[in-house]
A and B are shown apart, each in its own frame.
Chain A
Amino acid sequence: MKDVSVLIGGKAGDGINSAGALVAQLLNHIGYHIYLYFDYPSLIRGGHNFAIIRGSGQGIGTCWKTLDFLLAINRETVEQHRERCSGDTAIIFNADQVKSAGQGIQVKSILAGENAPAIMGNSAIIGGFAKTAGIDWNVVEDVFKSHIPKGVDLNLKVAKRAYDQLETVHPVSKGTKPPYPLLTGNEAIGLGMVNGGLDAYVSYPMTPSSSLLHFLAEQKEKLGITVMHPENEIAVILMALGFAYTGKRSAVGTSGGGFCLMTEGLSLAGMAELPLTLLVSQRTGPSTGLPTYTAQSDLHFVLHAGQGEYPRLIVAPGDAAEALYWSAVAMNMAWKFQIPAFILSDKTLSEGTYSVDPAAISEVRSMDSPQWAGTAPYLRYADAPDGVSPITFPGMKDAVIKVNSYAHDEAGITTEDAHVVGQMTEKRLRKGEMLADEMQGYAGVNVSGLPGASTALFCWGSTKGVCNETAALLGLRVIQPVVLSPFPADQLKKAMAGVRKLIAVEENATAQLAVLAGRYGITADEKILRYDGRPFLPDDLLVKVQEMIV
């Protein structure tokens, strides 16, 4: 089926994100796979917000420039996105605010006719879109009923008036795929954490991680979890470690600036061997940077954060389905090895919306540390052959459980004894070796596109989507490491077999994945980098890659 691309825009406060989600559900309900990109400046009111909703016959994670539909709630939307329109683009607009070619909707008079509040104006635009695209009215009814929390009937009446006023000038194709769940990356990460046994989520608001805090806070009763928003990120990570000490599986979420504050707590997790899962969702830096725009520039920060040496897991999922799976894996690895486990995301993944095929969701095996056998004295840091000491929690009969940020002996008592310090350092590092062995059992490097192609795009995280489409058009291979620590060098070398030209595609200025791979003798021949806060568009990437492969 032919792709369809819809942009809906207005000013901040116009409810563009929720209107975009409804458009996405309409396309979801007529057989499309969905990707939604939401673009907004860092402000509450005013400013230009837009969402691009793309439907495709296959799984996607990017948007092309050209639009099939432009839904303009204000004039700025038409002005800002004119270059995305072709002669075939259907422009549907709020005729109270916009003068344009295309199909105007008298929003004010429709609202007055139904005695409906201004907030329902978007329903008129969506109703108008549905008719223009030839989407049956019963689909609109179904979607509104399932996805509008309140005032469904009135919203439907408003939508119906616009639906009846417009003509089907740009019918879209329809498929037979049943509707799939649509999830943002952050929602997928949250549900993955819950599948991995999450008991407590602790977070201080910071874009683009906050929507996970909001989502889990909203769902905490349903999921039976604690959600806590404390005074700052320092308290966040220390609280998460307090939960872990009592046997509660905890996770934190933040972005680069908040993670800066967490690094002393991260190092404590490493030393005290407390399991911890962290979402770090990247945005454009340095410092406050562009709060609501994307980047992949914190890989090396996360890789090296915290004083001292201790093992860590870092996974960077490329879309919501991967986020759902790998977040559960991260939780389990944190508990199996008593280590910090990172889910490294970015604004594009965290706040983008994706179709998730329920049949393709893999079960994640639940894993835990060995439990204490009950023979006193309990040694929290018993020097086990694999480095993983049996675990137990306060309240356990006859166990004195001492965790310690200082160098300590097996019982957890502070020591400066050279032999013991060396022994415990080696014990912690052995966990890293066991983790690396364990991760061999997971597909830590995704290979897609044309498997035998001698040119490969080399990417990580959310750029998976744009690389896959570019590669499909040009007949290239895509190599996407999902596990970034311990680095899957062997898997990567296998994935590289027959590659003569490796092109790193990253949303940072220094090619951080390429630098990391370089340490393992894997060299990127070319680099395509973007660092202006915006995700790559396939249109642009296609041209740049073509220049490199002629």
Chain B
Amino acid sequence: MTGRQIITDAQNTWCPGCGNFAIQHTLKNILTEMEQEGKSLDDVVLVTGIGCHAKIADYLNINSFYSIHGRAIPVATAIKLGNPRLTVVCCSGDGDSYAEGLDHLIFAAKRNINITVIVHNNRVYGLTTGQYTPTSPLGFKGKSTPGGTAEYPFNPVELMLASGASYVARGYTKNMDLLKKLISEGMAHRGFAFIDVLQICATFFPAADYYTPRVYELSGHDRSSFESACIKAREWDYNSDSRIALGTFFQRSLPCFDDAMAVHGMEQKDRQQAVRDLLTMRS
């Protein structure tokens, strides 16, 4: 389908000022450019979890698999294995991929499956009306922790570096030019691309006043150096006060899981012959 309307007619229910608009707009622009370059959007699949972020499955007029909470990544992994020609983009929340489905995120990085994971990291549960997430700062007062959390956040950028991700980046919903560059690079990257997106939750964690003065774009950083990536990733630990680097921390070329798992398709009649052969061998 060419020249398609990229946004569906579904009613948008994100709050005014929600950072999800920026991510949706960025993806819309990327998809439009893909079409202009002659790529068919019929070959693109969006996979989402559950949460405010996931409504993007209803809003983008492309193939989508609106999965369950925490479970976008195993679905996306198998879609890529099932049809390696497809471009698979996984939009996930911090509740999804850092809490409920953390195991899947780590394993996807470990496998270097050729998909792009965009984590809409607003550092709060929005759709369930305001509880802390794994990246909320220490002492975060949410509905389940009215006295403030007693646990530190973890640093997803550092975690992904440790897990073997071959493309690791961080964006910010109030820097859309950079966000577009990072997501485009992630989609072009052959292997597992991880983009943590600091996203404003207008209702439960409106942190723009915190982020905007602290963020800066990485420059002169050697993205091929794992050591440099680790240093830059540790500069801000999602808790203490410091400058916040945006951009690509790390990129390297590694064999992809989907290539290693490729199978030579077989006609069903040949499979049935193979079954008969196996039966004979068991006689």
Q: Is A473 an interface residue (CB 8 A)?
A: no
Determine, out of B144-152, B178-186, B259-267, the stretch whose residues face the partner at the interface: B259-267
A268 and B271 in contact (CB under 8 A), knowing A223-B266, A225-B263, A394-B79?
no
Are B66 and A406 neighbours in the complex by a CB distance under 8 Å? yes
Partner of A414, one of B43, B55, B278, B280: B55
Within 8 A of A (CB), among B58-83: 58, 61-68, 71, 74-79, 81-83
**Contact of B278 with A219 in the complex, beta carbons under 8 Å:** yes
Contact (Cβ within 8 A) B282 A181: yes
Across the interface, do A395 and B66 meet the contact criterion of CB distance under 8 Å?
A: no
Is B203 in contact with chain A by the CB < 8 A criterion?
no
- Are B58 and A413 touching (Cβ within 8 A)? yes
Contacts of B272 in A (CB 8 A): 194-195
Q: Chain A: interface residue count, which band? A: 35 or more
CA–CA, A238 and B277, complex, Å: 32
Contact A405 B68, CB 8 Å, known A248-B82, A400-B63, A413-B10: yes
- Give bound CA distance, A4 to B85, whole Å: 56
- Whole-angstrom distance between the alpha carbons of A187 and B281 in the complex? 13
Q: Are B57 and A399 in contact (CB under 8 A)?
A: no
A508–chain B nearest beta-carbon distance, Å = 31
Q: Is A358 an interface residue (CB 8 A)?
A: yes
Among the stretches A50-58, A226-234, A531-539, the one at the interface with B is A226-234
- Answer yes or no: B45 CB below 8 A from chain A CBs: yes
When distances are taken between beta carbons in the complex, the residues of chain A under 8 Å from B63 are: 394, 399-402
Are the CB atoms of A242 and B76 closer together than 8 Å? Answer: yes
The reply to whether B58 and A242 contact each other, CB–CB distance below 8 Å, is no
Q: How far is the CA of A330 from the CA of B81 in the complex (A)?
A: 23
B107, A231: Cβ atoms closer than 8 Å: yes
Residues of chain A lying within 8 A (CB to CB) of residue B65: 242, 245, 272, 403
Contacts of B103 in A (CB 8 A): 231-232, 234-235
Q: For the complex formed, measure the closest distance between the CB of B131 and the CB atoms of chain A, giving whole angstroms.
A: 20
Q: Closest residue of chain B to A197, judged by CB?
A: B268
A394-B74 contact in complex given A246-B79, A376-B1, A413-B8, C-beta closer than 8 Å: no
Complex CA–CA separation, A241 to B264 (angstroms) = 21
- Out of B61, B77, B275, which one reaches A239, CB within 8 Å? B77
Option from B45, B47, B107 in Cβ contact (under 8 Å) with A235? B107
Q: Is the CB of A358 within 8 A of B274?
A: no
Q: Which of B64, B77, B86 is within 8 Å of A403, CB to CB?
A: B64
A93 touches B (CB below 8 Å): no
A195 and B66 contact, CB distance less than 8 A = no
Do residues A404 and B78 form an inter-chain contact, with CB atoms below 8 A?
A: no
CB pair A194 B83 closer than 8 Å: no
Let me know if A247 and B268 touch, CB within 8 A. no
Number of contact residues on B: which range applies?
35 or more
Q: Which of A187, A200, A397, A412 contacts B81 (CB 8 A)?
A: A200
Q: How many Å lie between the Cα of A408 and that of B65 in the bound state?
A: 12
Residues of A within 8 A of B280 (CB): 181
In the bound complex, residues from chain B placing their C-beta under 8 Å from that of A221 are 264
In the bound complex, CA of A197 to CA of B77 (Å): 21
The answer to whether B283 touches A179, judged by C-beta atoms less than 8 angstroms apart, is yes
Other-chain residue from B8, B40, B81, B274 in contact with A243 (beta carbon distance below 8 A) = B81
Q: What mask results when residues 464 to 482 of chain A are scored 1 for a CB within 8 Å of chain B, else 0?
A: 0000000000000000000
Interchain CB contact under 8 A, A182 and B282 = yes
Partner of A402, one of B66, B81, B264, B281: B66
Tell me the complex Cα distance, A412–B275, Å. 38
Q: Are B268 and A366 in contact (CB under 8 A)?
A: yes
Query: Bound state CA distance, A179 and B83, in angstroms?
Result: 41
**Contact: B274 with A222, CB < 8 Å?**
yes
> Are B75 and A224 touching (Cβ within 8 A)?
no
Q: How far is the CB of A512 from chain B (nearest CB, A)?
A: 29
Taken residue by residue from 294 to 310, chain A's Cβ proximity to chain B (1 for < 8 Å, 0 otherwise) reads as 00000000000000000
A-facing residues in B32-64 (Cβ within 8 Å): 40, 42-43, 45, 47, 50, 55, 57-58, 61-64
B78 A394 Cβ-Cβ under 8 A: no
Check A424 for interface membership: any CB of B closer than 8 A.
no
Inter-chain contacts of A397 with B (CB < 8 A) = 1, 40, 42
Cα(A322)–Cα(B40), bound, Å: 46
Q: A228-B81, A394-B43, A398-B42 are in contact. Are A239 and B261 (CB under 8 A)?
A: no
Cβ-closest chain B residue relative to A395? B43
Which listed residue (B75, B265, B268, B278) contacts A241, Cβ 8 A?
Answer: B75
Q: Taking CB as reference atom, which chain B residue is nearest A183?
A: B282
Nearest chain A residue, comparing its CB with the CB of B110: A231
**Contact status A242-B77, CB under 8 Å:** yes
Question: Do A239 and B86 touch (CB < 8 A)?
Answer: no
B residues 231-265 in Cβ contact with A at 8 Å: 261, 263-265
Which B residues lie within 8 Å of A247 (CB)?
82-83
User: Which residues of chain B have C-beta atoms less than 8 A from A44's C-beta?
Assistant: none
Q: How far is the CA of A239 from the CA of B71 in the complex (A)?
A: 9
A223–B10 contact, CB under 8 A? no
Which residues of the partner chain A approach B281 to less than 8 Å between Cβ atoms?
Answer: 146
Cα distance, A477 to B63, chains bound together (Å)? 54
Query: Is there an interface contact between A245 and B82, defined as CB atoms closer than 8 Å?
Result: yes
B270 at the interface (CB under 8 A from A): yes
Determine the distance from Cα of A402 to Cα of B268 in the docked complex, in whole angstroms: 28
The complex places the Cα of A235 from the Cα of B86 at a distance, in Å, of 20
**Which chain B positions have C-beta within 8 A of A239?**
74-75, 77-78, 81
Most buried by B among A28, A200, A224, A401: A224
How many angstroms between the C-alpha atoms of A356 and B280 in the bound complex? 11
Q: Chain A residue with minimal CB distance to B76?
A: A242
Verify A405–B107 contact, CB threshold 8 A: no
Give Cα A402–Cα B44 distance, bound, in whole angstroms: 12
Is A358 in contact with B279, judged by CB distance below 8 angstroms? Answer: yes
Residues of A contacting B71 with CB < 8 Å?
234, 238, 264-265, 268
Q: At the interface, yes or no: A396 with Cβ under 8 Å from chain B?
A: yes
CA A179 – CA B280 in complex, angstroms?
A: 9
Known: A28-B283, A194-B274, A222-B274. A238 touches B75 (CB 8 A): yes
Interfacial chain A residues near B68, Cβ < 8 Å: 238, 264-265, 268, 405
A180 in contact (CB, < 8 A): yes
Residue A191 lies at the interface, judged by CB distance under 8 Å to chain B = yes
Inter-chain contact B66/A404, CB cutoff 8 Å:
yes
- Chain A residues, Cβ within 8 Å of B50: 405
Which 3 residue pairs spanning A and B have beta carbons closest together? A242-B78, A224-B266, A246-B82
18 contacts between A and B (CB under 8 A): A181-B282, A191-B278, A200-B81, A224-B264, A224-B271, A239-B75, A245-B82, A246-B83, A247-B83, A248-B82, A358-B279, A394-B83, A397-B1, A397-B40, A400-B61, A401-B63, A402-B57, A408-B66
Other CB < 8 Å A-B pairs besides A197-B271, A220-B263, 6 of them? A224-B265, A225-B263, A226-B81, A246-B83, A394-B83, A408-B66
